[in-house]
Structure 1
């Protein structure tokens, strides 16, 4: 190909590269804002089934949105007011126990040795502790602890700043969620107008399937978390597990993570039941047996019924989507990745495959 004006071609190419760099930089700078918007859209789609249900009962759109938002905020506030004092008290007890374990170093080590000897009679406890001591000496662990101690003040400031930023972000997400929930129909109509009229009906059908699937997925995942949290609170209280309220909150939040959340939260709870001085091997064993049974019930009975109206996603796709979303956006990415994968599957099954079959 003959280039008639090398200077103009180079100028246009340079401007194109510069424009691309500027767009990428702008997206990077606006990543936090885009994350807020994506989170609010995700939550608004999750609340939309409740709003639609209230609309079918005769309420106008504004009243349905207001009732849903007030109910959700009221439930969240009630849970915080009820659980927060208990959780705060039990976290203080947990910190006190850990502090006592650290301060009473020699006695703690001896107590741990006695417990391991009693629990695992065939284990060479002295060899295990000798290996750990040699590893700590080789890694110069004491110097690292001193370095960490010197940065405690800076770490407190960082945590405080992160807490304020998180509160501000939560407020922004709340405002955007209310706005998106109230204006979902108008937003949908605005998007639908961009599609040619010949394809608009099909596009609306697929888009409604995607939004309904995302909404039912969000509500279903929250329902699974509530069920796990309540049952964990009851059962852990029965077996006398330590820090019941804290562990129930852990069970709830981990259940929000698809696929591996319940397993990870169960492992954390079982390990917490093994803390010397507050837990016991018997309590941990009882908790482990319960969560093994509960995970089977959740996988084969509870989740299929709750998620029956959401799009089913193959297990391999769930794993890949959760890992990819977690790597890109952390915990939020892992939560959003499953409905995104479900949306892609809907497009694949109802758009791509029919087109390929027509050719």
Structure 2
């Protein structure tokens, strides 16, 4: 005989908790641990299993599909060109920040080779650069400002001296420059009292100068921020760029990309050393020969020396013209000494400093600098030679071997 089912066991009575105990337990409960922030990481490489068959090649596209894709491609190209034209300053900021980051990358790599983590290496390089710039600004800027004020005060005297010279007298007798200038100034003064549009134009010019200053300050801050970001995340950016290449050619693309990046970084470092040495030699010569406004002109020489090939010659001509205001006994020795140094720099200094940087033939370098300057101004002239070196590397390593195999 089956015993009757006793049913579920009776529930044990739960102890009642007081309300204040729940509140205390809630406050004493530990805080949850912070969750790591999701990052946009490089996905892992997926290998192909051995023996896996490749899928069949897709059928060729029809004429309608081909025409549609060509039309979409042309439209995207036109859209890209329109964006490039209308956001030119932004592209310039990005390119400048990229070159600054690539210029500091060799120093970071050297510190990384000595077992310094990348974050610490970047921090040390940035702090060192900031300290050097602070010392340079504190030593040079006050003197440059003082000499700039002296130059502004002496401009009327220099203009009056030039107007009283024999050369100006001959030009005035032939072309009547003095009379036409006075007539233009008198007509301008008369129109200012009658036409209010000139005052509006002057006011608009002042507003335009203010907007230029604000745009320059904003651009400088953006370039500095982008340079720091690129410098910290350059390995991740390069890995992402290499992953966009096909797996069969990824190793070769990575090899060529690393060569380009090393060449550009070494070029920026080398050109900076050459420009600073050029400015130091020019300052020494100006101090020895008595050229006026030596500190101000040395800063100008350093900026122009960053432009390859033509920057040093242009700086030499400008400084010689300023030195001529103090007399030919000042201008001639400076010109002889500086242009002699340019020859030494071209044949001995630059080859030693730039031996690890890019190598571009002279004719191609001149064409690249002229084309870059015409297309993008000073920035185009600065990046012309590294761009030409990257193109030559692709031609030598990719195009020529492909042509040889045909």
Interval of TM-score (by shorter of Structure 1 and Structure 2):
0.7 to 0.9
CA distance in 2, matches of 1:350, 1:23: 29
Q: Counterpart in 2 of 1:251?
A: 301
Q: CA deviation at 1:298?
A: 0.6
**Runs of at least 5 residues in structure 2 that lack an aligned partner in the other structure:** 1-63, 193-197
Q: Counterpart in 2 of 1:309?
A: 356
189-198 or 341-350: which moved more?
189-198
Q: CA deviation at 1:72?
A: 1.4
Distance 1:71 1:338, change over 3 A: same
CA distance in 2, matches of 1:136, 1:257: 40
Higher relative contact order (CA 8 A, sep 6+): 1
Q: Identify, as 1 or 2, the structure richer in helix.
A: 1
1:283 equivalent among 315, 330, 350: 330
Q: CA deviation at 1:109?
A: 2.7
Helix, strand or coil at the partner of 2:347? helix
Helix, strand or coil at the partner of 2:324? coil
Helix, strand or coil at the partner of 1:273? helix
CA distance in 2, matches of 1:126, 1:108: 9
CA distance in 1, matches of 2:312, 2:93: 26
2:341 equivalent among 275, 294, 306: 294
CA distance in 2, matches of 1:191, 1:315: 31
CA distance in 2, matches of 1:188, 1:92: 47
Larger radius of gyration: 2
CA distance in 2, matches of 1:342, 1:63: 31
Distance 1:108 1:296, change over 3 A: closer
Q: CA deviation at 1:345?
A: 0.5
Helix, strand or coil at the partner of 1:310? coil
Q: Counterpart in 2 of 1:266?
A: 316
Summarize the alignment of residues 206-221 of structure 1 with structure 2, pairs less than 5 Å apart.
206-221=256-271
CA distance in 2, matches of 1:145, 1:57: 68
1:133 equivalent among 176, 179, 182: 176
CA distance in 1, matches of 2:187, 2:121: 56
Distance 1:109 1:37, change over 3 A: closer
Distance 1:38 1:136, change over 3 A: farther
Distance 1:271 1:145, change over 3 A: farther
Distance 1:218 1:315, change over 3 A: same
| Contact preservation (8 Å) 2:373, 2:379 | yes
Q: CA deviation at 1:205?
A: 1.0
Q: CA deviation at 1:198?
A: 1.7
Deviation string 1:269-317 (CA, Å, 9 cap, x unpaired) is 0001122xxx111111011101110110010000000110112101111
Q: CA RMSD in A?
A: 2.9
Q: Counterpart in 2 of 1:69?
A: 126
| 1:91 equivalenced with 2:134 (yes/no) | no
**Runs of at least 5 residues in structure 1 that lack an aligned partner in the other structure:** 1-5, 117-124
Output the TM-score relative to the length of structure 1: 0.85
Distance 1:286 1:204, change over 3 A: same
Q: Counterpart in 2 of 1:3?
A: none
Q: CA deviation at 1:204?
A: 1.1
CA distance in 2, matches of 1:12, 1:35: 31
Summarize the alignment of residues 101-250 of structure 1 with structure 2, pairs less than 5 Å apart.
101-102=158-159, 105=160, 109-110=163-164, 112-113=165-166, 126-134=169-177, 137=180, 141-142=184-185, 153-250=203-300
164-173 or 75-84: which moved more?
75-84
Q: CA deviation at 1:154?
A: 3.9
Q: CA deviation at 1:327?
A: 1.5
Q: CA deviation at 1:245?
A: 0.2
Q: CA deviation at 1:152?
A: 5.1
347-356 or 13-22: which moved more?
13-22
* Equivalences, count: 337
Deviation string 1:202-221 (CA, Å, 9 cap, x unpaired) is 11111111000000100111
